[in-house]
Amino acid sequence: MPSRRRLARVCAMQTVFEVQARQSDADASLIRNFAEHGGDSQVDTDFSRTLVTGVIADLDVIQKAIQSYAPQWPLERMDSITRCILLIGAYELLHAADVPPAVVMNEAIEIAKEYGTEESAKFVNGVLNALAHRKG
């Protein structure tokens, strides 16, 4: 069974996807995604909300960071799920000091394996690893 934090990341990824693809309301989408994954008893809802609000608030900076480590792959060329996984992972690497980078990368890779394309996990690993080891 996935951890509460893993499910929080999945809910965040699904919510960011819905917000970007359908201009959905983030709060309504989060509530629906929490319910689909077992609610408060199964999902770290506070952590998931922090991820979603952080990605939305800092979207331009996060996108630029991703783009700097994947210049040959414009964001609009990436498949939507992989892009959302990268947004969540990059947000954590840039702003969540309480989670070790190796954990952030491992979680993103595992989610990419489950929800992404055949190549998603390798791509997510490469971009987030480069971002985690950035200089400055």
The per-residue pLDDT for 135 is 52
The per-residue pLDDT for 13 is 97
Q: Which domain holds residue 76?
A: 4-132
Residue 69 phi, psi dihedral angles, 5° rounding: -105, 0
* Tokens standing for residue 7: 């499910």
Neighbours of 126 (CB within 10 A): 12
The per-residue pLDDT for 97 is 84
pLDDT tens string, the chain, 136 residues long: the values are 789 999 999 999 999 999 999 888 999 999 999 999 999 899 999 999 999 999 999 999 999 999 999 988 888 889 999 999 999 999 999 998 889 999 999 999 999 999 999 999 999 999 999 999 985 4
Residue in the structure block whose two tokens are 């996935």 = 2
CB of 106 closer than 8 Å to CB of 99: no
The per-residue pLDDT for 2 is 80
Secondary structure of residue 125 in the 3-state scheme: helix
How many structural domains is the chain composed of? 1
The per-residue pLDDT for 116 is 93
Nearest to 84 by CA among 40, 32, 127, 25: 127
CATH number of 28's domain = 1.10.940.10
| CA–CA dist 106, 14 (Å, integer) | 18
